[in-house]
């Protein structure tokens, strides 16, 4: 290549009309990179942990926060408002930590299901809210950290996940559609604590998996598996969002066949 | 460098003048070797004949080649896979190197596919090459079929080759489906379960067929071994035979070509196979191979390790077949719920019966389209000039309707992904697609036909009066006119050289009767040709030339 360019410096005029022999390859690489880049953008939105503020979590603080942010819907003493929001008696600290910690609460607008938004409270504030709601009536508590280390048995976890969760969340945890605009979200990048809490509280259309359905150890195994998927990118290369054959089919039509047809056009143009 | 080939082929007359330079050792050796082979096989006649075959150089004529080359890649990579794959559903305990599956019981087929992916050097790359190449193979066939359809290249004498091509398409889909089922993972097992349901939905014989196929109640322990023989032996053998026939007929019939100066119904203009085309094609093979390997080395396909071993109880959200089976899955998804009745002590699942009626009907129309069109138009002439789609508005419109129909079914197969990714309800997606199932093809038909006629009118104008140059000139009398630039003869040839058709006339047969069949044919023929714009004739051109 280098030889070409030095030898031909004087002949640029007649080269102008021609595409560089590497143009197709370059195009291909650009195409591949841009998909990869776009994909990385889509999946790269890491959930930033809110900055910790050094104040003690307390029921008192939680009550104030609740009155200011939640009472409009859930009622002043969390007793619920008919037709607006459910009672929070007995939902437990786990539910509050999940709902507020993933940015679902406070609810922004009435959609098919509570959307995830940027988290609005600090960890301490969330803990205070959780303590306050837990103080009203007993319910599932914040999971013990020994289940959240992602050091259980990933193959048991994978099997349990396929049996209990894949029908909604997709076998690769890529998410899936439910009826009436509801959906089971993709599970990549969800914190172990929130995975555990989702299982014990069953947010919205998700069923509750109590300790008789899935023992805490089994929950820890599921978390281990999901974290394994997070930590180990697909050995086969870019995973196209783990969307399965649809993504693969679109890819081969647009980029595979696209590249090849590009080459055929180029060859035929050269011939004339 | 283009060459004109005439048909029927004339005997070769000119011979190369013997070279005066003494041959080098290398060329003496090749010469002797070639002679040795020729004396024993008389192959030189064939090589000469084939070597003179002319390829037109429009890019769209290379789509079939893309399919052919991906098929070669599939054969090569597939052979590698057979060394390591175990087509058995016997239960084994996985002890390979993928942690989240360690210690699980699974079929030998799944475990050996995992071993290919993780424990055999280059295995994963070969699996991915094989699968990506398969997707590309069928996509290229599809595009190739569309090219042949929309240029009318299936008309006499090529109708049979269209049918063979269609058979290749179906075989390729069958190859794809059996291959997809071999690893015995959860996704492919779900796919097989759907097929099992389809089969069981066939009235009366369905259950029997299902038991026969799976060797008992689904999933049984035999289907992988059965599919393996079909996938690596039976289907490839038929495919290669049909492919050979396809290529042979293509050589016999010669290529079609687009109209142009010096290109007639009696010749083919392009490059001969030897040496130019063969060299190009060889290079092109490696381009296709390279693209496939590049994709396979960068992008995961069918990550069976995340799907897990097949087990009839779990079903994953977002289970889809590979793209080429998508239209069938989509059709199933579009059927409204509850279409089942009990009659004569049997359950009649119309939600399935309709699917297994409509899809073969659609495929049948595709397969026999050349004969259907030939019958309607009564056209018995040979055609070697590729028709521009606009010059056959009704055919193009029918094609567009068919493509729309297929696309709606295809989209329906990914209805759940559309719902989650565009944040709409899945019911909404399904209802829209259900409406499009009926309306889409009709709308596509009329819109396409109008567009074709519009383009034809434009061509007509341009051929007669030339381009509007945008230059306004004031005549001495004070009148303003816009100067039109005339086309050169080459350009004009492209625009005016197409056949004109007339509807079939309703004539009584030899017994003086007009049969119902003839009546239907005349009506269809009128419909086929009712809107048409006659090509510009030389007298038209001369007359209008006098104008300017």
DSSP one-letter string for B410-452: HHHTTHHHHHHHTT--HHHHHHHHHHHHHHHHHHHHHHHHHHH
- The alpha carbon of A208 is separated from its chain's Cα centroid by a whole number of angstroms, namely 20
| 8 Å CB contact of B417 and A246 | yes
Closest alpha carbon to B138 in B168, B179, B180: B168
Model confidence at B52: pLDDT above 80: no
pLDDT in tens, B471-530: 888 888 888 887 777 777 667 766 666 666 777 777 777 777 777 778 888 888 888 777
Which residue, B193, B317, B416, is CA-closest to A206?
A: B317
Rounded distance between C-alpha atoms, residue B171 and residue B178, angstroms: 10
B/e letters for A178-208, b = 16+ CB within 10 Å, e = fewer, are beebbbbbbbbebbbbbbbbbbbbbbeebee
State the pTM of this model.
Answer: 0.83
Distances in Å between the Cα of A206 and the Cα atoms of A185, A187, B204 are 11, 13, 40
Grouping H, G, I as helix, E, B as strand and the rest as coil, residue A143 is coil
pLDDT tens figures, B394-442: 899 999 999 999 999 999 998 888 888 888 888 889 999 999 999 999 9
> Cβ of A235: how many Cβ atoms within 10 Å?
13
Q: Where are the alpha helices (DSSP H) in B230-311?
A: 235-253, 278-298, 304-307
Between helix A92-101 and helix A123-136 the angle, nearest 10°, is 150
- Note the pLDDT tens digit of each residue in A103-119: 888 888 777 777 888 88
Tell me what percent of the residues of chain B surpass a pLDDT of 70. Answer: 86
Query: Is A270's pLDDT higher than 80?
Result: no
Residue of B164, B367, B131, B127 lying closest to B250 (CA atoms): B164
Instruction: Look at residue B128 in the predicted model and tell me its pLDDT.
Output: 95
The Cα angle at residue A64 between residues A61 and A69, in degrees rounded to 5: 120
> Which runs of consecutive H residues, i.e. helices, occur in A137-215?
154-164, 166-169, 192-201
Residue B295 structure tokens: 């994709």
Q: Which residues of A touch B428 (CB under 8 A)?
A: 181
Q: What pLDDT was estimated at residue A258?
A: 92
Nearest to A155 by CA among A81, A73, A221: A221
Q: With beta carbons less than 8 A apart as the criterion, state whether B109 and B86 touch.
A: yes
CB atoms within 10 A of CB B83: 10
Q: The tokens 């914190």 sit on which residue?
A: A191
Residues of chain B with Cβ-Cβ distance to A157 below 8 Å are: 100
Give B274's Cβ-side CA count (13 Å radius): 8
For residue A241, the model assigns a pLDDT of 79
Give the Cα separation of A19 and A131 in Å (integer). Answer: 68
CA dist B86 and B98 (Å) reads 18
How many whole angstroms separate alpha carbon A155 and alpha carbon B104? Answer: 7
The residue that leads in pLDDT, A269 or B309, is B309
Q: Considering chain A, what percentage of its residues have pLDDT values greater than 70?
A: 78
Q: Are B445 and B397 in contact (CB under 8 A)?
A: yes
Termini Cα distance of chain A: 24
**Token pair belonging to B277:** 């085309």
- Report phi then psi at B7, rounded to 5: -125, 135
- Tens digit of pLDDT for each residue in B235-269? 999 999 999 999 888 877 777 776 666 666 666 66
Q: C-alpha A224: how far from its chain's center?
A: 16
Whether A174 and B318 lie within 8 Å, measured CB to CB? yes
Chain B residues closer than 8 Å to A240 by CB: 299-300
d(CA B236, CA B240): 6
What tokens were used for A117? 């938004």
Residue A35 or B289, more confident: B289
- Position B114 scores a pLDDT of 94
As a whole number of angstroms, the distance between CA B19 and CA B15 comes to: 12
Coil, strand, or helix at residue B474? strand
- Sign of the torsion angle spanned by Cα atoms A53, A54, A58, A60: negative
Token pair 């939600």 is found at B351
Six token digits for residue A232: 């180990």
Residues of chain B with CATH 1.20.810.10: 57-257+282-316
Please judge whether B101 and A155 are an interchain contact, meaning their C-beta atoms are less than 8 angstroms apart.
yes
Q: Which of B13-22, B130-139, B248-257 shows the highest mean pLDDT?
A: B130-139
What's the N-to-C CA distance of chain B in angstroms? 37
Given an 8 Å threshold on Cβ–Cβ distance, is A245 in contact with B326? yes
Per the CB < 8 A criterion, the answer to whether B184 and B105 are in contact is: no
Q: What is the pLDDT of residue B6?
A: 56
Pick the closest to residue B123 from B85, B93, B87, B95 (CA basis).
B85
pLDDT 10s digits, B288-317: 999 999 999 999 999 999 999 998 888 888
Task: Tell me what pLDDT residue B270 has.
Answer: 66
Render A32-73 in DSSP notation, one character per residue: HHHHHHHHHHHH----PPPPP------HHHHHHHHHHHTHHH
Q: Which of B117, B287, B295 sits opposite A256 (nearest CB)?
A: B295
Residue entry with tokens 């004569």: B344
Q: What percent of chain B has pLDDT over 90?
A: 39
Give the C-alpha distances (Å, rounded to integers) separating A181 from B111, B306, B427, B431.
Answer: 38, 26, 8, 13
A47-61, A130-144, B140-154, B507-521: which range is least confident on average?
Answer: A47-61
H-run or E-run covering B482: strand B480-485
Flag whether residue B332 sits within 8 Å of chain A, measured between CB atoms: no
Which residue segments constitute the domains of chain A, with CATH numbers given?
Answer: 45-141 (1.10.760.10)
Q: Calculate how close chain A gets to B324, using CA atoms only, in Å.
A: 8
Q: Which of B175, B183, B222, B181 is nearest to B86 (CA)?
A: B183
H or E segment and range at residue B388:
none
List pLDDT tens digits, range B61-78: 788 889 999 999 999 999
Q: Average of pLDDT values for A77-96? A: 85
Cα–Cα distances in angstroms (integers) from residue B229 to residues A164, B170, B225, B226, B405, in the given order: 35, 18, 7, 6, 34
Distances in Å between the Cα of B132 and the Cα atoms of A26, B64, B180 are 21, 17, 12
**Residues paired with B349 in a beta bridge:** B340
Q: Which residues of B touch A255 (CB under 8 A)?
A: 295
Select the more confidently predicted residue: B352 or B168: B168
- If contacts are CB pairs under 8 Å, which of residues 221-260 in chain A contact chain B? 225, 228-229, 234-240, 242-246, 248-253, 255-257, 259-260
User: Mean pLDDT across chain B, nearest whole number?
Assistant: 84
Measured distance CA(B330)–CA(B320) in Å, rounded: 9
> Which one is predicted more confidently, B202 or B263?
B202
Residue-level pLDDT at B170 = 95
User: Would you call B489 exposed, middle or buried from its count of C-beta atoms within 10 A (0-12, 13-18, 19+)?
Assistant: exposed
CA-to-CA distance for B166 and A13, rounded, in angstroms? 48
B-chain residues near A174 (CB < 8 A): 318
Would you state the pLDDT for residue B7? 52
Q: How far apart are CA B531 and CA B535, in angstroms?
A: 13
Cα atoms in the 13 Å half-sphere on the side-chain side of B95 = 2
User: pLDDT at residue B344 above 60?
Assistant: yes
Is the model more confident about A222 or about B24? A222
Judged against a pLDDT cut of 70, whether residue B155 lies above it is answered with: yes
Q: Is A268 on the interface with B (CB under 8 A)?
A: yes
Nearest to A177 among B271, B320, B419 (CB): B419
Could you give the ipTM of this predicted complex?
0.82
Q: Which CATH architecture has domain B57-257+282-316?
A: Up-down Bundle (1.20)
Q: How many CB atoms lie within 10 A of CB B207?
A: 12
Q: What is the CA angle B265-B269-B272, rounded to 5?
A: 130
Burial label, B119 (beta-carbon count in 10 A; 0-12, 13-18, 19+): middle
- In degrees and rounded to multiples of 5, residue B28 shows phi and psi of -65, -40
Beta carbons of B452 and B389 less than 8 angstroms apart? yes
Q: Which two tokens stand for residue B516?
A: 């119902």
**Is residue A50's pLDDT more than 70?**
no
- Nearest C-alpha in A relative to B414: A246
Q: Which among A43, A158, A236, A265 is the top mutation candidate for probing chain B, defined by the most B β-carbons within 10 Å of its own β-carbon?
A: A236
């Amino acid at each position: 290549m280098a030889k070409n360019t030095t030898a031909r410096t004087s002949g640029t005029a007649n080269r102008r009309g021609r595409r560089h022999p590497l143009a197709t390859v370059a195009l291909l690489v650009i195409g591949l990179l841009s998909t990869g880049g776009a994909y990385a953008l889509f999946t790269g939105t890491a959930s930033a942990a809110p900055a910790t503020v050094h104040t003690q979590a307390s029921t008192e603080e939680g009550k104030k926060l609740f009155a200011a942010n939640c009472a409009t819907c859930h009622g002043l003493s969390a007793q619920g408002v008919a037709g607006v929001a459910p009672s929070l008696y007995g939902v437990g600290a786990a539910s509050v930590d999940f709902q507020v910690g993933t940015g679902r609460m406070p609810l922004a607008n009435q959609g098919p299901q509570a959307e995830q938004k940027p988290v609005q409270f600090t960890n301490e504030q969330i803990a205070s809210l959780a303590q306050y709601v837990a103080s009203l009536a007993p319910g599932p508590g914040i999971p013990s950290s020994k289940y959240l280390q992602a050091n259980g048995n990933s193959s048991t976890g994978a099997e349990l996940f396929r049996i209990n969760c894949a029908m909604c969340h997709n076998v690769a945890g890529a998410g899936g559609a439910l009826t009436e605009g509801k959906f089971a979200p993709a599970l990549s990048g969800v914190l172990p604590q929130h995975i555990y809490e989702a299982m014990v509280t069953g947010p919205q259309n998700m069923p509750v998996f109590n300790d008789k359905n899935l023992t805490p150890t089994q929950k820890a195994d599921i978390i281990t598996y999901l974290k394994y998927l997070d930590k180990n990118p697909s050995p086969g290369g870019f995973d196209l969002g783990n969307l399965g054959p649809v993504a693969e089919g679109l890819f081969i039509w647009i980029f595979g066949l696209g590249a090849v047809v590009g080459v055929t056009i180029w060859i035929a143009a050269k011939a004339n | 460098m283009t060459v004109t080939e005439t048909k029927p082929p004339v005997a070769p007359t000119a011979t190369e003048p013997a070279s005066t330079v003494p041959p080098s050792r290398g060329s003496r050796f090749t010469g002797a070797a070639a002679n040795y082979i020729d004396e024993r096989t008389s192959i030189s006649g064939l090589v000469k004949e084939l070597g003179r075959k002319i390829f037109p150089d429009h890019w769209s004529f290379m789509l079939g080649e893309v399919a052919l080359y991906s098929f070669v890649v599939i054969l090569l990579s597939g052979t590698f896979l057979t060394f390591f794959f175990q087509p058995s559903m016997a239960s084994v305990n996985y002890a390979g190197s993928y942690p989240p599956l360690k210690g699980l019981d699974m079929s030998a087929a799944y475990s050996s596919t995992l071993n290919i992916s993780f424990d055999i050097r280059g295995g994963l790359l070969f699996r991915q090459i094989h699968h990506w190449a398969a997707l590309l193979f069928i996509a290229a066939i599809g595009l190739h079929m569309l090219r042949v359809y929309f240029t009318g290249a299936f008309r006499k004498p090529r109708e049979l080759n269209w049918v063979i091509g269609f058979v290749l398409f179906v075989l390729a889909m069958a190859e794809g489906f059996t291959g997809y089922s071999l690893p015995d993972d959860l996704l492919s097992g779900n796919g097989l379960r759907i097929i099992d349901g389809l089969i069981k939905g066939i009235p009366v014989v369905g259950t029997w067929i299902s038991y026969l196929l799976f060797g008992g109640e689904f999933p049984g322990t035999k289907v992988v071994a059965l599919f393996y023989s079909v996938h690596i032996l039976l289907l490839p053998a038929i495919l290669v035979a049909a492919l050979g026939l396809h290529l042979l007929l293509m050589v016999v019939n010669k290529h079609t070509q687009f109209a142009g100066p010096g290109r007639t119904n009696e010749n083919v203009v392009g490059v001969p196979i030897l040496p130019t085309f063969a060299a190009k094609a060889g290079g092109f093979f490696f381009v296709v191979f390279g693209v496939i390997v590049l994709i396979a080395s960068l992008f995961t396909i069918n990550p069976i390790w995340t799907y897990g071993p097949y087990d009839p109880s779990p079903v994953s959200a977002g289970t889809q077949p590979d793209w080429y089976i998508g239209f069938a899955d989509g059709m199933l998804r579009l059927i409204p719920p509850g279409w089942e009745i009990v009659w004569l002590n049997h359950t009649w699942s119309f939600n399935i019966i309709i699917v297994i009626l409509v899809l073969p009907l659609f495929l049948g129309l595709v397969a026999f389209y050349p004969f259907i069109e030939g019958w309607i138009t009564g056209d018995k002439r040979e055609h070697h000039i590729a028709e521009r789609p606009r010059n056959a508005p009704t055919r193009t419109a029918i094609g567009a309707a068919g493509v729309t129909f297929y696309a709606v079914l295809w989209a329906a197969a990914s209805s759940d992904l559309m719902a989650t990714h565009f944040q709409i309800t899945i019911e909404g997606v399904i209802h829209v697609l259900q409406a499009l199932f009926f309306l889409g093809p009709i709308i596509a038909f009329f819109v396409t036909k109008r567009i074709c006629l519009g383009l034809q009118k434009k061509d007509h104008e341009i051929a007669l009066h030339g381009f509007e140059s945008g230059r306004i000139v004031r005549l001495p009398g004070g009148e303003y006119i816009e100067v039109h630039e005339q086309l050169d003869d080459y350009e004009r040839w492209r625009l005016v050289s197409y056949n004109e058709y007339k509807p079939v006339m309703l004539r009584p047969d030899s017994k003086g009767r007009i049969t119902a069949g003839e009546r239907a044919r005349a009506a269809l023929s009128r419909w086929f040709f009712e809107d048409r714009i006659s090509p510009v004739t030389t007298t038209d051109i001369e007359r209008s030339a006098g104008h300017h």
